[in-house]
Structure 1
Amino acid sequence: MKLSEEQINKFNKDGFLLIRNFAPTYLCDEILEEAKKHLDKKSSPIESEQEYLKINEQTTTVRRLRQVYNRAEIFRRWMKYEKIRPILKQLLNDTPVLTLAHHNSIMTKMPKDSSRTTWHQDRRYWNFENDDLISVWLSLDDEYLQNGLLEFIPGSHKLNLKKEQFDESISFRDDLKINKQLINKAVHYDLHKGDIVLFHCKTLHHAHKNNTQKPKISFVYTVKAQKNKAIKNTRSDFKEVILD
């Protein structure tokens, strides 16, 4: 599959692109079944809600299963899915490469115990020569505002934002007037099983907590251009998988 010129222009303009019904239902179901096994066991490495909120509690609510590439073949199969490679190559203008340092994760919003994800850019996770990285978000079931759907600020990947617009955790501050004006432009689209969203690592996004009785489970991984090298001796200087 390849993107149309209109889709490429939309991604470049907005910093994200929704593609409906991309992943087969059977593949989503297999991923979800395997993810639930790891979530039930709380198999490390994980990120917990308690860690994210910087609070000390004896309970552990999984927010993210980390390093899923190494956990199961079904996860690797999706991350190396051949039908998406031409799309990623179009957007990166180069051979796409999986970066495994971060963002090869099963993302969760658990009922009652989930928290809001603050506005942020994913660039805060990376140390590469440039910021041209793309995350691939796969919906494994229905996602909507009540259970923690992602929202995006169109065109925010092109803005020259100032350091003072972010807090000490590099979250985009929602208490500043200049930031509120941008946040008011946020958009969202309900997602269904098999839908994917591609978004630039500088695109501002966030998600509400899950206010339903059912867990919301999604899959995200990130790719970069082969020519975009990691900065030596940083977190990003880690294992990669070339998708040629």
Structure 2
Amino acid sequence: MSEQTSLKSKSDQVHELRQMGFVIVKGLVSEARCDALREVAQRQLAEAVAPVEYEADLKYPGAPESKHAPGGHTVRRLLDAHGRHPLFAEFATSPEVRGWMELYFGETPYLSRAHHNCVMTKHPAYGSLTGWHRDVRYWAFERDDLVSAWVALGDETVENGALWFVPRSHKLAFTSDRFDDAKFFRADLPENTPLIHTAVSPKLAKGDVVFFHCNTLHSAGKNLTDQVKFSLVYTYRGASNAALPGTRSASKPEVALV
């Protein structure tokens, strides 16, 4: 499926996203641009340029117990990508992204600076597992209709902790007991197991972009290689789908793609 996606029109790609909950667009970002973005990310990671989020802050499976434990200062996310370097901001509002989002939403798209808007790093030794979840679990908008763009700044495979998606899960309704207290989809429940077994993990090459719906169930494994994996992630909404006042979703000014 993913290899054929590069031959599809944007309309076909948007249709696939609506049907499957995610779509892979091959080679959307040039190799030169990926290299430049990755170089900035590597430098800022080495210097731990604020704001950052540490694995120890999240305490996901495999993360250090605290910042004082071995690996305690392993960075998980370089936060506020849009604000931390012009190259990140330029891509977030680039014509290729704007055109794709305009087609999906049918109106002016807005970049959320409160959600995602980061460089995701996954380290070999202390990079943690990410359980099954929907991104919208902590988001608050008038409608659950947002799209994230995940850019592979290098190859992404099961071996280095690539994403897994449950196809068509964005269309499913679940009762709250299917999730734990942290709103992760419970892999220990027999009624959840068959759905999880339908998950796929698309292999991404440098410059590939995955667009996925905020209700799509997804997860990510550990990095079993010896190299840090870098991914750039942004989230977008349509102009008519405003963040609810007083929530985290409304806590930072958004950026109109015009």
- TM-score if structure 1 supplies the norm length? 0.96
Tell me: CA distance 1:3–1:84, structure 2 relative to 1, closer, same or farther (3 Å).
Answer: farther
What CA distance in whole angstroms lies between the structure 2 residues aligned with 1:176 and 1:73? Answer: 45
Identity of aligned residues (%): 40
What SS is found at the alignment partner of 2:192? helix
What CA distance in whole angstroms lies between the structure 1 residues aligned with 2:77 and 2:42? Answer: 12
Following superposition, the deviation at residue 4 of structure 1 comes to 4.3
What CA distance in whole angstroms lies between the structure 2 residues aligned with 1:32 and 1:148? Answer: 17
The residue type paired with residue 45 of structure 2 is L
1:207 lines up with 2:220 in the alignment: yes
- Alignment match, 2:67: 57
Query: Contact (CA 8 Å) 2:17, 2:23: kept in 1 or not?
Result: yes
Following superposition, the deviation at residue 56 of structure 1 comes to 2.2
- Alignment match, 1:84: 97
Please list the CA deviations of residues 49-81 of structure 1 after superposition, one character each: whole Å capped at 9, or x if unmatched: 111117323121101111111110011011011
State which drifts further: 139-148 or 3-12.
3-12
What CA distance in whole angstroms lies between the structure 2 residues aligned with 1:107 and 1:16? Answer: 19
The residue type paired with residue 190 of structure 1 is K
- Alignment match, 2:3: none
1:1-80 equivalences in 2 (<5 Å) = 3-53=9-59, 55-58=65-68, 59-80=72-93
Query: Contact (CA 8 Å) 2:13, 2:25: kept in 1 or not?
Result: no
- Alignment match, 1:148: 161
2:254 to 207, 227, 240: 240
Please list the CA deviations of residues 54-111 of structure 1 after superposition, one character each: whole Å capped at 9, or x if unmatched: 7323121101111111110011011011122121111112211001012100001101
What CA distance in whole angstroms lies between the structure 2 residues aligned with 1:49 and 1:9? Answer: 36
Please list the CA deviations of residues 187-212 of structure 1 after superposition, one character each: whole Å capped at 9, or x if unmatched: 12110110000000000000101011
Query: Contact (CA 8 Å) 1:102, 1:125: kept in 2 or not?
Result: no
Structure 1 gap ranges (5+) = none
State which drifts further: 98-107 or 54-63.
54-63
| Root-mean-square deviation over aligned CA pairs | 1.5
1:180 to 183, 190, 193: 193
Please list the CA deviations of residues 3-41 of structure 1 after superposition, one character each: whole Å capped at 9, or x if unmatched: 444323211110101000110111111100001111111
Aligned residues: 244
The residue type paired with residue 57 of structure 1 is K
- Alignment match, 1:105: 118
The residue type paired with residue 240 of structure 1 is E
1:218 lines up with 2:231 in the alignment: yes
The residue type paired with residue 144 of structure 1 is T
The residue type paired with residue 59 of structure 2 is L
- Alignment match, 1:229: 242
Tell me: CA distance 1:176–1:228, structure 2 relative to 1, closer, same or farther (3 Å).
Answer: same
Query: Contact (CA 8 Å) 2:11, 2:103: kept in 1 or not?
Result: no
- Alignment match, 1:191: 204
